[in-house]
Chains A and B, each alone.
Chain A
């Protein structure tokens, strides 16, 4: 599920902290990393990626696509006046035209309207999933990274396990326990997003744990909680921001895949994955039924990944 995440993590090991697999090949243990940073202090300033930091035409397009998606989610009636649920049997399976830019489906419903109205469900489920992943992942990462020892070992083994099970299968197991529906899909995708946030947070905490300002704060007598909240958390915020955008893209993919498989909202609802799945039986007769909703999913995911890349490059300018 979080393919994009693996890619980005691999490509930007310096910014995303430790490697994909900490237990790896014994080359770099987290403690060694921490030690290096103690000497290094300001990290990797020579590696500014100026190209990624600029807002080019692609970034503007990406922002526009996301803005459009948000608009569709919150104010769908601004984009289309057609009802997504009522069909018009006379206008069944009409190819795209000026009246129906995405065509109509087998019940004569406007595919564009269904896609626009579907964004609310798919995007809110994806947002909820990312929120679950961020909150649980950051809390686990903060605790594991800051306290080390037994707590670290326990939390990280659990994260190992969550990572050992492919994201989609993990989500499907959660759905088996909780039942079908959009909310449960969001929860399931959120659980699968926890490991990446936990690992990133832990790596960043270890990076800053022994920094001078943190030691000074502790020497000043600040409580552990205040040190974590006021001094460590702000350092973690930047990298997490980039990962949030990336994971949002992955979550959109996962949510629509699960709804395509039939684990999401029941049929009359216009969820994006469900729209694609409804078009399956009409592949030969009505290509537009599957093509357009899928393109919208791909566009949103691409846009989110692009924004993540920009955020990730920007934070290196600090």
Chain B
């Protein structure tokens, strides 16, 4: 992998983050009124504010400075990973995010495993089955999965599996089983994306000439799928990992609310409810950074997995490394 490729992807990522910072700065600090009043009001109704408190906050956020100075000061602070302190709790934003992360990562990991397994099972089942009704039914599942409101799915699961049949605890994080229902809720839209992409990619791989060749040589359908088609089909699914991570973050807001869990999503919700501007900006930038990093990682892994791209990023003429798998990703 060439350094130039790496450098250009890195630069693009940094530009995206810089614009994300700039947009969030202008959105949160300049629209549509005085952010200090917004933060003190925290709900909208007008009250009498202590002028000294207003002044203190105003200078804390450098709002008494001219606009370009405000922007530059904020930019420099962010470059030093200083996102300010939460208005509501007074803790540094980075600390608040860091302390809420483990719970959300645990939830997301379980959800991703569930989503990968069900998504792959649906896609493989739909590809392998010879029964049209079963294939149609499996192929329709992802569309259903994305149409169900996540908050409602969570409450339905609670209703059935915590209240009607008390199998899982309704709230909290006390027992290991407490993560199951929230993870399933979070996994449903994720598995829908995975199933859909994988199904399309498998169908695409299934009509390639080499599959016919293997079939003619007596490979079983299952073996052919697992050994030949699946590794090829996984590649396009990889490019969606950034979107998947975004979905996990967005989903955690709803899921952590429904199941009364602590975590990043819960933090985001309380930040918005309390109009805690530094915290909201910190979480938004964190989400953007995760997205950029995941995409960067995908871009770096992709050429390793796909020999033709490895060749391309090395700037070697593609012909030199052409393999008999040519056209595999057509």
Contacts and interface: CB of A to CB of B under 8 A. Distances in A.
Interface of A: 1, 3-4, 6-7, 10-11, 19-21, 23-27, 157-158, 160-161, 164-170, 172-180, 249, 253, 256-257, 260-263, 273, 276-277, 279-280, 283-284, 287, 290-291, 294, 297-298, 301-302, 305-306
Contacts of B246: 164-167
Nearest to A250: B146
Contacts of B247: 3, 166
Nearest to A304: B147
B156 to A, nearest CB: 7
Contacts of B12: 23
Nearest to B41: A179
Chain A binding surface SS class: helix
A157 B19 contact: yes
Given A4-B143, A20-B243, A173-B24, 6 more contacts: A10-B200, A10-B236, A177-B27, A260-B149, A294-B151, A298-B149
Given A25-B302, A161-B19, A165-B20, A294 B156 contact: yes
A225 B44 CA distance: 43
Contacts of A301: 147-149
Contacts of B254: 168, 257, 260-261
A146 B324 CA distance: 40
A72 B61 CA distance: 47
B65 interface: no
A294 B146 contact: no
Which 4 A-B pairs rank lowest in CB-CB distance, beginning with the nearest? A294-B152, A166-B250, A168-B250, A166-B246
Nearest to A162: B23
Contact of A175 (B16, B142, B236, B272): B272
A169 B249 contact: yes
B292 interface: yes
B36 to A, nearest CB: 14
Given A165-B20, A166-B249, A273-B151, A173 B257 contact: no
B44 A177 contact: no
B196 A7 contact: yes
Contact of B155 (A177, A249, A294): A294
Nearest to B292: A164
Given A24-B239, A158-B19, A257 B193 contact: no
B152 A290 contact: yes
B63 interface: no
A290 B155 contact: yes
Interface residues of B, number: 70
B156 A291 contact: yes
Interface hub of A27, A176, A283 (most chain B Cβ within 10 A): A176
A179 B159 contact: no
Interface in B264-314: 268-269, 271-273, 275-277, 280-281, 283-284, 287-288, 291-292, 295, 299, 302-303, 309, 312-313
Contacts of B268: 169, 172
Interface of B: 12, 15-16, 19-20, 23-24, 27-28, 31-32, 38, 44, 142-144, 146-152, 155-156, 158-159, 163, 189, 192-193, 196-197, 200, 236, 239-240, 242-243, 246-247, 249-250, 253-254, 257-258, 268-269, 271-273, 275-277, 280-281, 283-284, 287-288, 291-292, 295, 299, 302-303, 309, 312-313
Contacts of B144: 302
Given A21-B239, A169-B284, A294-B152, A26 B147 contact: no
Contacts of B280: 172-173, 176
A256 B196 contact: no
A259 B284 CA distance: 20
A276 B163 contact: no
Max count, chain A CB within 10 A of own CB: residue among B163, B189, B268? B268
A298 B27 contact: no
A305 B268 CA distance: 29
Given A3-B189, A25-B309, A302-B143, A166 B31 contact: no
Interface centre among B44, B151, B253 (most CB of A within 10 A): B151
Given A161-B23, A279-B155, A176 B271 contact: yes
Contact of B269 (A26, A158, A261, A306): A261
Contacts of A19: 239
27 contacts: A3-B146, A4-B143, A7-B146, A10-B197, A27-B309, A157-B16, A164-B20, A166-B249, A166-B250, A167-B246, A169-B283, A169-B284, A169-B287, A172-B269, A176-B275, A176-B280, A177-B31, A178-B31, A253-B149, A276-B149, A277-B151, A280-B155, A283-B158, A284-B159, A291-B156, A298-B147, A306-B143
